[in-house]
Chains A and B, each alone.
Chain A
Amino acid sequence: MNPFSYSRVADPGEAVHTLAGKPQGKFLGGGTNLIDLMKMGVETPNELVDINRLPLTQIEELPDKGVRIGALARNSDVAEHELIKTRYPVLSLALLSGASPQLRNMATVGGNLLQRTRCYYFYDPAFPACNKRKPGSGCGALDGYNRIHAILGQSDQCIATHPSDMCVALAALDAVVRVRGPKGEREISFGNFHRLPGNTPERDTNLAPDELIVSVDLPAISFAARSHYLKVRDRASYAFALVSVAAALDLDSNKVKAARVALGGVAHKPWRAHKVETEINGKSADENTFRAAAEAELAAAKGYKYNSFKIELAKRAIVCALSTVAAMA
């Protein structure tokens, strides 16, 4: 770990001010990802600004019946909150399927949004090639052991996936990320928050280095109460998703009126499955409909030596998740 300076701030303005114009500095949330990466020598900030005391832990209803989640709310608190459990069970389930209770107690919502990929070639600096870690150095995963890697939206520069479960639910829920920078506040829609790798895989998100996430806002979605998160992984617990699906359905008797579907473990960002949503709209909520929609979504998928299984797995997971939601009372 490299030596770094540390300071603690008490309000968001001070936080932003402290890091303004310091691209080498970083905010410290729960530290469950950042500290790990510093120990591995992947992240080498020279300054940490501890934001754990910022008064941004609220989980509250908004006037339009949406819910605002403060950036410093802990993953466990969000998962167990009544508003979340009743109105957005998919988010609660996604959070509870991630990491371990101890980690969830530490992990913050802001930090979860910005957690970095678990690509082996990124995580271990002994591998010389990683465009995300060292732009221009190549991609070790492309011809390497790529079992956990992307099948959708990847580029030949990077086939890493975004590892978060929470973000898959947030993508399905059309969340909005509110951020504050030296020039004031702005809102980023969830679909625009994370990026596809393209030629700049070193950039995970559209957040500027000196911007602080202050909250994540969930819009009111009446049918989100009928939602589910399905996570497929190598172990039943304490493992990242190979493929995951966040799904919510609005049904009129057995007809799909509206759907929200997002996939995890398949792309450089949480993958909103727009094709599935449009394919099943107006159709009867049954396995055939779901399977056809899954085929359409994965039509453009591309597998590599060790991860091609994900294509069929993603299709089956979509069918399974949607069938589960359709069967809910």
Chain B
Amino acid sequence: MSATLIGQRLTRVDGRLKVMGQATYAAEFARPKLAYGVLVQSTIANGRVTKIDISTAKSAPGVIAILTRENAPQFKPYPDDLTKKGAPGEDRVPLQDAEIHYAGQHLGIVVAESFEQAVHATSLVRVTYQPQPPVVMLDDERVQKNAIWPERFIGRESLQVKRGDINAALATAAHKIDVVYSTPVENHNPIETYSTTAEWEAPDRLLIHEATRGIKQLQRIIANVFGLPRENVHIICPFIGGAFGSKGFQWSHTVLAAAAAKLVQRPVKLTFTRPQMFDSAGQRARTEQRFSIGADKNGKLMALRHATTTHCSPVSEYTEPCGNMSRMLYSCPNVEVSHRLVRLNLTTPCPMRAPGEAPGVFALESALDELANETGLDPVEFRLRNYADIDEYENRPWSSKKLRECYERGAKKFDWSKRTRKAGSLRGADGSQIGFGMATAIYPAGQQKAGATAILNKDGTVTVRSATHEIGTGTYTAMSQFAADTLGIPIEKIRFELGDSQFPEAPNNGGSWLTSSVAPAVMGACRELKKKVVDLGESWPNDPAQLANLLARSGQEQIQAEFISEPNKEEREKFSFFSYGAVFVEVHVDPLGQVRVKRVILILPNTTWRCTRTHRNLTSISSTS
């Protein structure tokens, strides 16, 4: 493959559409006879609904119908693997019982001719409750005895890990610390709020325009709930206006919109208000992480205990996996990682901008700095002394690891060795305390199964399709690049299409695996296309203009090729795959407690950036002060 485009400064292929306002987001699809839905939500956090009085709301101007438990159809359950076993998303279908689990829970949907009319009518719905005192704090005694010790993260990685003898190692450690870090609830707030427009094209065919990072998953879920064949549910989502972890899991709004559309026999659009982004579709859970860490007199880690307490809601057991990187980020013979979950009456937690790795590594790295300080070692030196040459949890080598080099480059660029070392000793002119810190960055380098088709069209252009997603990170451009490079034709001759459940399977957009999963499928489909042309007895032309002629000669309307790529199982079992980096910061805290980050340097291993413009945009923060 001649890498002609990878690494170049390309402009986004969808850039013009976006700046012209012509990129169509989920809430912007005009549908004939569109009606507007607005959610009825619980104003208490725990208890039961005793009555929903819609008598006034029903006769408000413009109201077409109101769907509540009274007139809701019976929904079938969600697919087990997507909502049970700790999967993110709720395992309870809406409107089937009277229980209230958290404030903001959806109790119905009001459908009206205009959004404003629906909003007003919703305010006229009178709900009466039998309230129970809610439990909302992690340390509330009432929920401790029913705490859950989840076995696995979404049925995958173990959440309870023990290696060696942690207690013995702690007892004899020359240096040790015992610290607790807590992180708050964090909400996803992309510019585009959730939006779904549901439309029954036939009594058993549903068309949904939705802002989702899980097109195929949503298709499965909705098909299950309404008892439809999967192919009868058509999901469309060409652009997503940001997500930060949202829009990828199962919440009740899509089901409610679809059920409302059935009730009124018209397309129904349901768009979240900004406040609903805080209670209607997930948030990162609060975490409390306790570390007991011990090192010998040379600063070698001997014991690492990372115990996380976090919460789930009564209708999900998703766990924020804070301790997973602590299993293997550093070399340490005695390790204990645990996760404990309490059920709180809070909006159902889900991942947010990287699941537990984010709060977990923040806490681990902070604790390590404290221990480095305790041992009197430089934090970089301390990390180097505990460098993990293999993955000690899986007991296998890394696929690649250039972390040492990241530390070195970062320290040099930051002038790390010239800093004032003693904590609390440096003050700025305004009385600020000045501190320097560094941390390791790590995230699993995942890959999933994905498919793509490549089609040679009459006009000599090539259309490539995959049911993947554009979240604003540049999927359209990146995949067009990969296709153009594989085919050896200009990027202008490629049309990459995504966001349609009728396209070949692609994974949810998440876990930083989109490019590593979908690019191999795109390149594979393009290679297959070339092969098909060669099989016709033609050679693949270097001149793109000849592609049209070639197709004409073949007498075919188009030539289509498909490819499904899968992670190399053997390699995945032989090696551990992670991405690494190193971060260095200078932070000032003034006498008023105001924290100002003056300098951040993030060092990532030297790699090929698929687009230097995107790379520059991503890394330009490194020089702000």
* CB within 8 Å for A41 and B123 given contacts A1-B116, A126-B43, A126-B103: yes
A236 contacts chain B at the CB level, 8 A cutoff: yes
Q: Give the secondary structure class of B's interface.
A: loop
Residues of A within 8 A of B593 (CB): 232, 313
A211-232 interface code vs B (CB 8 A; 1 in, 0 out)? 0000000000000000000001
B596-A1 in contact (CB<8A)? no
Measured in the bound complex, the distance between the Cα atoms of B592 and A313 in whole Å is 6
B83-116 interface code vs A (CB 8 A; 1 in, 0 out)? 0000000000000000000010000000000001
Residues of B within 8 A of A3 (CB): 61, 120
Give the residue name and chain of the B residue nearest to A243 (CB): B592
A317 contacts chain B at the CB level, 8 A cutoff: yes
Tell me the A301-319 residues at the B interface (CB within 8 Å): 313, 316-317
A2-B120 in contact (CB<8A)? yes
Give the residue name and chain of the B residue nearest to A126 (CB): B43
B594 contacts chain A at the CB level, 8 A cutoff: yes
Closest beta carbon of chain B to A309's beta carbon, Å: 8
Closest beta carbon of chain B to A44's beta carbon, Å: 10
A320 contacts chain B at the CB level, 8 A cutoff: yes
Measured in the bound complex, the distance between the Cα atoms of B120 and A167 in whole Å is 34
Tell me the A254-275 residues at the B interface (CB within 8 Å): none
B596-A236 in contact (CB<8A)? yes
B103-A1 in contact (CB<8A)? no
Measured in the bound complex, the distance between the Cα atoms of B592 and A259 in whole Å is 22
Residues of B within 8 A of A232 (CB): 592-594
Residues of B within 8 A of A41 (CB): 123
A320-B116 in contact (CB<8A)? no
Measured in the bound complex, the distance between the Cα atoms of B124 and A3 in whole Å is 12
A-B contact count (CB 8 A): 23
Tell me the A1-27 residues at the B interface (CB within 8 Å): 1-3
B591 contacts chain A at the CB level, 8 A cutoff: yes
Candidates B61, B116, B123, B592; contact of A316 at CB < 8 Å: B592
Candidates B43, B61, B119, B592; contact of A320 at CB < 8 Å: B592
A317-B592 in contact (CB<8A)? yes
Closest beta carbon of chain B to A239's beta carbon, Å: 12
Measured in the bound complex, the distance between the Cα atoms of B591 and A316 in whole Å is 7
Q: Which residue among A2, A41, A126 has the maximum number of chain B CB atoms within 10 Å of its CB?
A: A126
Measured in the bound complex, the distance between the Cα atoms of B593 and A187 in whole Å is 40
* CB within 8 Å for A1 and B592 given contacts A126-B43, A126-B103: no
Q: Which residue among B61, B123, B592, B596 has the maximum number of chain A CB atoms within 10 Å of its CB?
A: B592
Candidates A1, A126, A236; contact of B120 at CB < 8 Å: A1
Candidates B43, B119, B591, B594; contact of A1 at CB < 8 Å: B119
* CB within 8 Å for A320 and B596 given contacts A1-B116, A1-B120, A126-B103: no
Closest beta carbon of chain B to A146's beta carbon, Å: 16
Closest beta carbon of chain A to B378's beta carbon, Å: 31
Residues of A within 8 A of B43 (CB): 126
Closest beta carbon of chain B to A155's beta carbon, Å: 27
Give the residue name and chain of the A residue nearest to B431 (CB): A320
Listed in ascending order, the chain A residues whose CB lies under 8 Å from chain B are: 1-3, 41, 126, 232, 236, 313, 316-317, 320
Closest beta carbon of chain A to B344's beta carbon, Å: 15
Residues of A within 8 A of B592 (CB): 232, 313, 316-317, 320
A2-B123 in contact (CB<8A)? yes
Measured in the bound complex, the distance between the Cα atoms of B590 and A236 in whole Å is 13
**15 A-B pairs, CB-CB below 8 angstroms?**
A1-B116, A1-B119, A1-B123, A2-B123, A3-B61, A3-B120, A41-B123, A126-B43, A232-B592, A232-B594, A236-B594, A313-B593, A316-B591, A317-B592, A320-B592
B588-615 interface code vs A (CB 8 A; 1 in, 0 out)? 0001111010000000000000000000
Closest beta carbon of chain A to B375's beta carbon, Å: 33
Give the residue name and chain of the B residue nearest to A125 (CB): B43
Closest beta carbon of chain B to A83's beta carbon, Å: 30
Closest beta carbon of chain B to A42's beta carbon, Å: 12
Residues of A within 8 A of B103 (CB): 126
7 closest Cβ pairs, A-B complex: A126-B43, A232-B592, A316-B592, A316-B591, A41-B123, A317-B592, A1-B120
Closest beta carbon of chain A to B101's beta carbon, Å: 16
Give the residue name and chain of the A residue nearest to B43 (CB): A126
Measured in the bound complex, the distance between the Cα atoms of B5 and A161 in whole Å is 58
Closest beta carbon of chain A to B475's beta carbon, Å: 30
Tell me the B58-92 residues at the A interface (CB within 8 Å): 61
- 20 more A-B residue pairs beyond the given contacts A316-B591, A316-B592, A320-B592, with a C-beta to C-beta distance below 8 A: A1-B116, A1-B119, A1-B120, A1-B123, A2-B120, A2-B123, A3-B61, A3-B120, A41-B123, A126-B43, A126-B103, A232-B592, A232-B593, A232-B594, A236-B594, A236-B596, A313-B592, A313-B593, A317-B592, A320-B591
Residues of A within 8 A of B591 (CB): 316, 320
Give the residue name and chain of the B residue nearest to A317 (CB): B592
Give the residue name and chain of the A residue nearest to B596 (CB): A236
Closest beta carbon of chain B to A286's beta carbon, Å: 14
Measured in the bound complex, the distance between the Cα atoms of B470 and A91 in whole Å is 45
Residues of A within 8 A of B120 (CB): 1-3
Closest beta carbon of chain A to B446's beta carbon, Å: 33
Measured in the bound complex, the distance between the Cα atoms of B122 and A41 in whole Å is 11
Measured in the bound complex, the distance between the Cα atoms of B119 and A316 in whole Å is 46
Measured in the bound complex, the distance between the Cα atoms of B596 and A106 in whole Å is 30
Closest beta carbon of chain A to B176's beta carbon, Å: 31
Residues of A within 8 A of B116 (CB): 1
Give the residue name and chain of the A residue nearest to B123 (CB): A41
Measured in the bound complex, the distance between the Cα atoms of B123 and A232 in whole Å is 37
Closest beta carbon of chain A to B596's beta carbon, Å: 7
Measured in the bound complex, the distance between the Cα atoms of B123 and A41 in whole Å is 8
Measured in the bound complex, the distance between the Cα atoms of B219 and A142 in whole Å is 48
Residues of B within 8 A of A126 (CB): 43, 103
Closest beta carbon of chain B to A53's beta carbon, Å: 24
B516-547 interface code vs A (CB 8 A; 1 in, 0 out)? 00000000000000000000000000000000
Closest beta carbon of chain B to A73's beta carbon, Å: 29
Tell me the B171-229 residues at the A interface (CB within 8 Å): none
Measured in the bound complex, the distance between the Cα atoms of B116 and A2 in whole Å is 10
Closest beta carbon of chain A to B272's beta carbon, Å: 14
Residues of B within 8 A of A1 (CB): 116, 119-120, 123
Closest beta carbon of chain A to B290's beta carbon, Å: 23
Measured in the bound complex, the distance between the Cα atoms of B116 and A307 in whole Å is 38
